[in-house]
Amino acid sequence: MLDGQVPHPASPNDGQIADARENMGVAAFLIRAIALRGRIITYLSQGGKDLDPNPMWEDESHYVKHLNDVVNLEASLPLSLKYSAENLEVHKTENTASQFLFMHICLQHNILFVSRAAMSARKQHGVHDDFFSEASKRTFDAANRISELLREAEQSRCFVSAPFAGYCAFSSTTVHILGIISRNPSMKPTAEANLTTNVKYLDKMKKYWGMFHWMAENVRTQYRNALNAMRAGANVEERATQPSFLQYGDWFNRYPHGLSDAESMDPATHKRKESGADGVLEAKPELHS
């Protein structure tokens, strides 16, 4: 059922008016997206990749199956659930707009997550150049789309407060940082604009979840480290192929007993930084709502 199949479908003569698949709502596809993420984690982080009889870049690999699953899930959405301004307005009238946006953020994050993992395979023997370049394009496209959804949510006044949405924004942000320091100058303006969008969103999430105090500060640390590495002449592409990056579950390992009051404080409130140190990450007074 998580694959969208309908067990024991009714025959046309049973008087069933609607297609059961068409009756699947936002919650059903959100469950499917999260279930697919679980399978991807099992493959990438819990030994599944070691059991794959084929290299991940081969068409017969389990990796390619997972990739096709996440891409096809978005493509298979009913027309009523595909993202559009009209559908968002419909969900606003039904009080499900935030859930609708959250579903699309999760779908894009699955694409980002599985594609970015493939970028770490660049140095492996036998990997095709096309495999890496396609994975890189999907990663940046998905990261950009997450930021676009966050912007559209803000414009529609449909705030998505689910903590996993914040993690999706955090993951997207780390990709935008790579875009800013990329050797491709055409990527920088979009990456900077989207980075600003994501940081604003993470700052708002601090009001709901203590973990985002740490995440927002971690973004600033990553940004400064990336700029320093670039100025020092480090290979920027090496950062894109790093095999490890923060997982959602890492938060619980880092703070198994939650946050203390001191840990949930915004570091900016007790440590002033030199003006301009964080570039596009610095808050603009006119942007605060």
> What does the pLDDT look like over 1-25, one tens digit per residue?
455 565 666 666 665 555 556 668 8
Please give the torsion angle defined by the CA atoms of residues 83, 85, 86 and 89, in that order, rounded to the nearest 10 degrees.
100
Tokens of 229: 């590495």
Q: Specify the pLDDT at position 287.
A: 41
Higher pLDDT, 44 or 235: 44
Residue 264's pLDDT band (boundaries 50, 70, 90)?
low
| Least confident segment among 10-14, 104-108, 113-117, 170-174 | 10-14
Q: Is 29 helix (H, G, I), strand (E, B) or coil?
A: helix
| Least confident segment among 8-17, 42-51, 183-192 | 8-17
Number of Cβ within 10 Å of residue 220's Cβ equals: 18
- Is the separation of the CB atoms in 101 and 158 below 8 Å? yes
CA distance 218 to 286: 24
DSSP 210: T
Residue 285 pLDDT greater than 50, yes or no: no
CA distance 52 to 62: 6
CA distance 153 to 100: 10
Higher pLDDT, 180 or 107: 107
Q: Specify the pLDDT at position 216.
A: 86
Q: What is the mean pLDDT of residues 251-257?
A: 61
Give the predicted TM-score (pTM) of the model: 0.82
Residue 226 pLDDT greater than 70, yes or no: yes
- Give the mean pLDDT of the chain: 82
- Is the separation of the CB atoms in 178 and 222 below 8 Å? no
Q: How many CA atoms lie within 13 A of 231 on its CB side?
A: 6
Residue 26 pLDDT greater than 70, yes or no: yes
Higher pLDDT, 183 or 138: 138
Residue 69 pLDDT greater than 90, yes or no: yes
**Which position has the token pair 């495999």?**
131
CA 155 to each of CA 197, 208, 247: distance values in angstroms, whole numbers, following the listed order: 12, 20, 29
Rounded to 5°, angle at Cα 166 from 98 and 288:
80
CA distance 251 to 245: 12
